[in-house]
Copies of this chain bind each other. A is one copy, B any other.
């Protein structure tokens, strides 16, 4: 029941103090940490200890080091990159069923499109329209998926909710991994792509009309239409129930 006042490990103390400096704003993003050799004298520890502390901070996305840069390690602005990493780790580690993942996506992506439809600016709408146009003009898979990413990105910014976007994106990635082989073997990939495009156009129209409810329903419907075939029968009903709700 005793919580040690200061961490036992030397490197943990270093991590903690630097973290504190960042959180309290004493170290702002873009500013530089002292060099490793300076830090070791400041904290009274060896360079290996300093380095281990810096590695931890780096793996947490708080700093970035470049070999040879005399200005020292850079303090990075907070970014959802790490959230994405730990989320992805968690999703990958728990062996979850496809149905579970799709349920999650239907719930979150529905809300994402709802928010995007209500909050989007005209500029963001224009970005989405351009992305969908690129998709329909695309000649190869690479172009198509690049445009797809651009579309999702524009939607993400419009929602103004990082958390919803990051979580659904991560799960989207895992789902794609999960069915990648089955998708590659699909005989009618061209048909899938054009169906995909059609769904996007419909959703885009709903976003244009600022009809959040419709956009949400379309997004859930699209997910169901795509993936239901890959979900075993008994679980499929669970997804169907979420389409309309």
Is A96 among interface residues, defined by CB-CB distance under 8 A? yes
Distance, CA A75 to CA B163, complexed state (A): 29
| Cβ A94 vs Cβ B161 within 8 A | no
Is A89 among interface residues, defined by CB-CB distance under 8 A? yes
| Cβ B107 vs Cβ A162 within 8 A | no
Give the interface residue-count category, chain A. Answer: 35 or more
Is A114 among interface residues, defined by CB-CB distance under 8 A? yes
Majority SS of interface residues in chain A?
A: helix
| Cβ B111 vs Cβ A107 within 8 A | yes
Among the listed B163, B171, B213, B238, which residue makes an inter-chain contact with A163, where contact means beta carbons less than 8 Å apart? B171
Distance, CA A86 to CA B60, complexed state (A): 8
> A62-79 vs B: 1/0 string, CB under 8 Å?
100000000000000111
Is A180 among interface residues, defined by CB-CB distance under 8 A? no
| Cβ A60 vs Cβ B48 within 8 A | no
Which of chain A's residues 85-138 have a Cβ closer than 8 Å to chain B? 85-87, 89-96, 100-101, 103-104, 107-108, 111, 114-115, 118-119
Among the listed B11, B86, B111, B162, which residue makes an inter-chain contact with A82, where contact means beta carbons less than 8 Å apart? B86
Distance, CA A213 to CA B213, complexed state (A): 16
Is A211 among interface residues, defined by CB-CB distance under 8 A? no
Chain multiplicity (copies): 2
Query: Provided the pairs A83-B86, A107-B107 are in contact, do residues A91 and B59 lie with their beta carbons within 8 angstroms?
Result: no
Is A30 among interface residues, defined by CB-CB distance under 8 A? no
20 more A-B residue pairs beyond the given contacts A48-B48, A87-B163, with a C-beta to C-beta distance below 8 A: A11-B55, A51-B52, A55-B55, A56-B59, A59-B59, A60-B89, A78-B90, A78-B95, A80-B90, A80-B95, A82-B86, A83-B83, A83-B87, A85-B86, A100-B163, A103-B111, A104-B163, A104-B167, A111-B242, A216-B245
Question: Which 6 residue pairs of A and B lie closest in terms of their CB atoms, listed nearest first?
Answer: A78-B93, A82-B86, A56-B59, A107-B111, A83-B86, A78-B95
8 A-B interface contacts by CB (under 8 A): A59-B59, A80-B90, A83-B83, A103-B115, A103-B163, A104-B163, A108-B108, A111-B242
Give residues in A with beta carbon < 8 Å to B: 11, 23, 48, 51-52, 55-56, 58-62, 77-80, 82-83, 85-87, 89-96, 100-101, 103-104, 107-108, 111, 114-115, 118-119, 160-164, 166-167, 171, 212-213, 216, 238, 241-242, 245
